[in-house]
A and B are shown apart, each in its own frame.
Chain A
Amino acid sequence: MESSSSKITDEIRAEASRLLSSGEVAAFLGFVPGSLPMTVRPFVARSSEDAARLVWNSFCVMNLANYLPEVLKSVEPPRGPGDPEPEGPLPRVGVLATGCWSRNMVVQIQENRIQRDRVVILGISSRGMVDRKKVLARLGGREALKVEEQDHSLLVSGRAFNEEIPRWEVVRDNCRSCVHPDPVIWDIMIGERAGDRQNANRFAQVEEIESLAPEERWAWFQEEISSCIRCYACRNACPLCYCPTCFVDDSRPQWVGKSIEPVDTAIFHILRAYHCAGRCTDCGACESACPMGIRMRLFTKKLEKDVLEMYGAEAGMDPETPLPLSTFSPDDPQDFIVTGQESPKSTGDEAGRSGEVSQS
Chain B
Amino acid sequence: MKVYKISREGLDKWIKHWTESYDVFGPVEKNENGMTDWAEVKGLDEISTAPGTTKQPIKTFYLPQPETLFTFTSRGGEPDSDVLKETLDEGRPRVLFGVRPCDARSVTLNGLAYEEDPYYMANVERTLLVGVSCREQCGTCFCRWVGGSPFGTEGLDILLIETEQNFVAEALTDRGVSLVEAGGGAREASGEDLAMVESMRQEAEQAMSAMPDTAETLRSKDLMSMYNADFWGGLSESCINCGACTFLCPTCYCFDIQDEVVRKKGRRIRYWDSCMFPLFTQHASGHNPRGQKVQRVRNRFMHKLKYFPDRFGPVSCVGCGRCIRECPVNIDIREVLRDLLGVE
Contacts and interface: CB of A to CB of B under 8 A. Distances in A.
Interface residues of B, number: 48
A290 to B, nearest CB: 8
Contact of B33 (A41, A133, A257, A259): A133
A233 interface: yes
B328 A62 contact: yes
Nearest to A50: B234
Interface string A247-265: 0010000000111110000
Contacts of B48: 141
Contacts of B334: 35
B330 A231 contact: no
Contacts of B332: 34-36
A233 B136 contact: no
B328 A139 contact: no
B135 to A, nearest CB: 11
Contacts of B37: 227
A136 B279 CA distance: 34
Interface in A29-61: 34-36, 39-44
A66 B260 CA distance: 34
Contact of B330 (A40, A67, A249): A40
Contacts of A237: 240, 242, 328
Contacts of A43: 234, 237-238
Nearest to B29: A141
Nearest to A27: B237
Given A133-B33, A236-B242, A229 B260 contact: no
Contact of A229 (B34, B65, B237): B65
A233 B139 CA distance: 23
Given A136-B34, A137-B34, A258-B256, A36 B330 contact: yes
A230 to B, nearest CB: 7
B33 A136 contact: yes
A293 interface: yes
Given A159-B136, A229-B56, A259-B271, A141 B33 contact: no
B34 A35 contact: no
A291 B326 contact: yes
A106 B211 CA distance: 48
A325 interface: no
A36 B324 contact: yes
Contacts of B65: 229, 259-260
Contact of B241 (A41, A236, A293): A236
Contacts of B248: 229, 231, 291
Nearest to B240: A236
Interface in B124-160: 136, 138-140
B331 A143 contact: no
B35 interface: yes
Nearest to A158: B139
Interface of A: 34-36, 39-44, 62, 66-67, 70-71, 74, 133-134, 136-137, 139-141, 143, 145, 159, 227, 229-233, 235-237, 245, 249, 257-261, 288-293
